[in-house]
Structure 1
């Protein structure tokens, strides 16, 4: 009754649950768009000038960096970087051994000399320039689909080559609005990244998969890394002679954090969203793609867990893989549950019908109906192709076969001029290509690889879309079982040896075609089928590159006419999103308040993973060693009517603890993990790390009432550093400010 009363009052007032214009919080905006929404930022209490946010050379945007799969930010003049614990998991795993398990016990370097390499694949990417190259890419393209696709790729590669005249930069040309626009992104690469401070997994992933996408949360999902460069200040590979990188700026940290109702914004590299996709695409994802993928992921998760329980080395090697799979699995389930709970398919269909009605009545865009119909036809072909190739693609899931496939492809590509090679196989890609081959050893075990591959092969054998070359391998030993056949492959291959695996980088195609290594032989046998499927896919992409941009042009006009925000779907490029610190009405009829407290950790603690908080943390909480990080209230004005209402109930104005996690209405998705969350002045107040379960469907549809992101409160991070782990050397590096 009490929660229902709160919810009813909040819903009617819109004061705390959501603002009266909550839909304004939607959008993963390109930085250059900030001046166009300056009024919206101002309404949220964001005081830093929109023009400043649009400038990647100014604070705070020049302190935001990408990891290639997550986001991070500089927080000291000595190259110190903060991100999520789960984003740095590979670095923690890379340095974990039986004798020093940093996953279980955490890690703190008390001096820079103690900071180990985060691994050969770890990079920091600092975006320095984003340039509109739409006209250069799209002008004069052929109408023939495959040629059109190849022309786009050729133009992209030429722009990238010119941009990468300095080897310390990595450039890319990304498509926005499904090929309507293209932007050239120039990023400085830091190649020497080191592990500095990570809490134990019992802090960084407190609650584990049970709490994943749930709220209230009490996760210490943070880790510190450091960027190093050569003595000349330029990026360099790992060396003991390297020195800490000096960033152009680093974030000020507001030690007072934020309160309910405060405006906030986040910057980062969101991976992908599908908000402009057609209803038919959503139906396909809901009816086939997500359920099929979820079934496979669950089987792999169960297998790795069982094998890890029996062997601690396997548990360490596959810890990052397992965490990633579990997160993806929870997301699939959340998407499927969300589609049922909110009827997003119905909402999308209604909007699409309204769009088509608008299209028919607008003389400027009436002709685009033909492109819409063409797009639907192409998408049906795409769906059929995905279903027919799904099991064959999975049947090549072995890490060793994947390596063999890529190595043979490299040998074939090397016979072409560099500019004509496929992306991923050019000279610019060789350092990362080599590093990936090396990294196999850190997350590979023959027994696990074989078991997972066998599961995929059995699924392949049980369906109708077969490939002769693969069937031949499976039946080569006559009546022997798949398991026996695979035992023979693993016993005879030399690809498990890193030195021999790397030697194939320099081999020519003939060496592959005459090799007796069973994985190499299989890669050669499957090559033509893989290339034929790739050609078919490229042809389809060429056709889509004609149909999608026209559709997007009409959709943008439609959204503008409706007064809805217009921003591109996420595509892994730097974006800004804004909102407010705010709770929400959950699916179980409870109002979720925006902050959690330290005492929630002790309440959840059972001593059994994943609710097994470290003893030293529990002692600090029980002894109320809050230091300067204690907060009396998380509500701005305790005398307001809303606080008086709460006072009659749960007294949230009497917080009297350290905030652990908090909610906001900023618009995030995968890739935003580790994104700095700023207050209105552009000071760091938290790190984004998750979304609520109800919000998972925001990849397809943004619902302002329930869409909430979950952040680690900066006051909790500082408390951990100060009162629990005594990371005094790092605290001295930070620039702390107060309100």
Structure 2
């Protein structure tokens, strides 16, 4: 066996630390020793400070992560994270999804869309005491009290209209933190490779490894001439960030310590086994069935109409990703018996808890009863909620809800309908035109209506309005009539409804408005029942989490909150792994792998100029001799150091690390031990998908775009010289 592979195996499998944890920045000093063990030299106290480099350069897109990489507001993220902005600017005559885009000057940078935002986190404050103050014992009143207290904190925080604040629950309501973020409202598209680079391998390679994806895109933040956030205007100027990331053009090698900062979406590691069982038995299979039907439908319609394919490209990519993740979760639950592992840990916890004479042993039973109620509630409401999936009906329902909410004082309105929400509300209504086609919407809605009509848990409101049709033909005719007679497809008329009174909705002749009014009371009843249950859980679940945290601490296990789209830091090392098929997956992939995979047809249809550069061995200064460390003395004591590490002699494309990431971490900067940018997170391996429920350090690997591939694309393939000049490039 070549020493490079042996060295990598020694560095990883047998000697790897458990790099578990999606840590809040303030927690970093508590794990400083673990960071040092991984070779991360940047002080933990510096990482805990959101006002210092590099954390003040990490930003949120609201659904993905990005980071500033120049003093002129240049931002780098994943291609799939910028997909909406690329799609927004794509048309038949200039399809940037298909052909890519490069602005050679700032004047050529188009808006990424009215809904695109950058959120710069400036401050995170523990507000648990304020949120939990003066709460009622009545479950519904308790839920509303938490909401009221949170809104009051947000209102104070948002005294300046340029900030967006949120109160987030941690550890299932045990703690609450207030996050203050500066909003950049003018985001522009700067440079995006073709989808055949950014999504090379498509859904086939999604969650797989080895990967060869150039999943990167550059955006730019703009502000008014006064330096303050402003909506899009030709007079706006690039934003000057407080700091921007240094980029290490030499990248990393196997065994190097790395850390990742970003906004992971959601994990369920502290959830009970019964919740995992419900997801495995009903929730995930039910979701998967619907996603697959929608994917098949849009694919077929997109093949017949290119405009549809462009409009629904982002929707398709999102659904395909969710579909593969669900299948990966279901496969992973079976392959590693996650249910059994969770149940054993739960049994051990109960045994530990019983040793405490002061423990509330009824706590688990009370929680399980509430969770059983919640599962029934989800099943009962699922098809009714899906039966409202028409984009136009959703818009009508939200508009009518807005009219009703405007009858209340602003502080009493539901979140999403307050004055602070109106800019985004209006932008969402505008954006409908860019990702909506009546023919597609009609078919997808009919499918959901059919599913609703074929199951027993129906309500009278849809039976009376639509589902009473005796055949599919009758149902189709009724739906056809709604789309033919509505005015909501007209953007100006749609926006005008934002200013209408509830009475005007209730007397409207527009069929979608009439349907929205008809189902409103039923929706409010369902919402009230959900709030009531959440109020009950808000009393029981935090007590459970207290006990769980004490149990974890007694075992010296890491304690960090489940992901909830707030800023987190995770660490690890550049590291391959032993995959389920008994093959060792090496940590780096090479440019030559693109040639080997390329077929000329989607999803393996790399651009001709990229293929030509590889065939010509046109690697320039980005060629890497080796991606393995020279074996250290202690490694040589474990094996015979017969030769030097194998030559790599290429440009690294993607690499693996043991960092603990999940959805929302897409686009997250990957740092070396000095805090320099060396890659972008964009995926996980298929075996690692179950980490949303249980972290297994042996097989959990994140997949990153290597910074050297990004620089090679910019330099040798697309000649983005103007952007390269903006970057602060350093070398080891």
2:10 matched residue in structure 1: 15
**CA-CA distance at 1:140 after TM superposition:** 2.4
**CA-CA distance at 1:638 after TM superposition:** 5.7
Q: How does 1:203-352 map to 2 (within 5 A)?
A: 203-352=197-346
Q: Equivalent residue of 1:523, what SS?
A: helix
d(CA) in 1 for partners of 2:637 and 2:199?
33
**CA-CA distance at 1:22 after TM superposition:** 2.3
Match of 2:170 among 173, 176, 182: 176
Structure 1 residues 593 and 21, CA, compared in 2 at 3 Å: closer, same or farther? Answer: closer
TM-score (norm 2): 0.98
d(CA) in 2 for partners of 1:477 and 1:514?
25
Aligned partners of 2:257 and 2:573 also within 8 Å: yes
1:132 matched residue in structure 2: 126
Q: Deviations over 1:240-263 (max 9, x none)?
A: 000000000000000000000000
Match of 2:484 among 467, 491, 497: 491
More displaced stretch, 355-364 vs 581-590? 355-364
Aligned partners of 1:53 and 1:61 also within 8 Å: yes
Match of 2:62 among 56, 60, 68: 68
**CA-CA distance at 1:139 after TM superposition:** 2.7
1:602 matched residue in structure 2: 595
d(CA) in 1 for partners of 2:646 and 2:389?
53
**CA-CA distance at 1:181 after TM superposition:** 0.3
d(CA) in 2 for partners of 1:405 and 1:643?
69
Q: What value does the CA root-mean-square deviation take over the aligned residues? A: 1.8
d(CA) in 2 for partners of 1:45 and 1:652?
21
d(CA) in 2 for partners of 1:347 and 1:693?
19
1:421 matched residue in structure 2: 413
**CA-CA distance at 1:644 after TM superposition:** 12
Structure 1 residues 597 and 642, CA, compared in 2 at 3 Å: closer, same or farther? Answer: farther
Size of the aligned set, in residue pairs, is 730
**CA-CA distance at 1:647 after TM superposition:** 9.6
Aligned partners of 1:108 and 1:197 also within 8 Å: yes
Q: Equivalent residue of 2:59, what SS?
A: strand
Aligned partners of 1:22 and 1:705 also within 8 Å: no
Structure 1 residues 643 and 116, CA, compared in 2 at 3 Å: closer, same or farther? Answer: farther
1:454 matched residue in structure 2: 446
Q: Equivalent residue of 1:129, what SS?
A: strand
**CA-CA distance at 1:371 after TM superposition:** 1.9
d(CA) in 2 for partners of 1:380 and 1:549?
18
Aligned partners of 1:219 and 1:712 also within 8 Å: yes
d(CA) in 2 for partners of 1:594 and 1:477?
57
d(CA) in 2 for partners of 1:174 and 1:644?
48
Q: Deviations over 1:468-495 (max 9, x none)?
A: 1111111577775211111111000000
**CA-CA distance at 1:60 after TM superposition:** 0.0
Q: Tell me, which stretches of 5 or more residues in structure 1 are unaligned?
A: none
Q: How does 1:446-485 map to 2 (within 5 A)?
A: 446-474=438-466, 481-485=474-478
**CA-CA distance at 1:48 after TM superposition:** 0.1
Q: How does 1:513-662 map to 2 (within 5 A)?
A: 513-637=506-630, 653-662=646-655
Q: Equivalent residue of 1:519, what SS?
A: helix
1:433 matched residue in structure 2: 425
Structure 1 residues 298 and 523, CA, compared in 2 at 3 Å: closer, same or farther? Answer: same
Q: How does 1:138-217 map to 2 (within 5 A)?
A: 138-217=132-211
Q: Equivalent residue of 2:12, what SS?
A: coil
After TM superposition, the runs of 4+ consecutive aligned structure 1 residues lying more than 4 A away are 475-480, 638-649
Q: How does 1:86-101 map to 2 (within 5 A)?
A: 86-101=80-95
Aligned partners of 2:4 and 2:646 also within 8 Å: no
Q: Equivalent residue of 2:582, what SS?
A: coil
**CA-CA distance at 1:351 after TM superposition:** 0.2
Match of 1:404 among 396, 402, 408: 396
d(CA) in 1 for partners of 2:16 and 2:669?
24
2:709 matched residue in structure 1: 716
d(CA) in 1 for partners of 2:636 and 2:328?
32
Q: Deviations over 1:358-380 (max 9, x none)?
A: 0000235x12x222211100000
d(CA) in 2 for partners of 1:40 and 1:47?
11
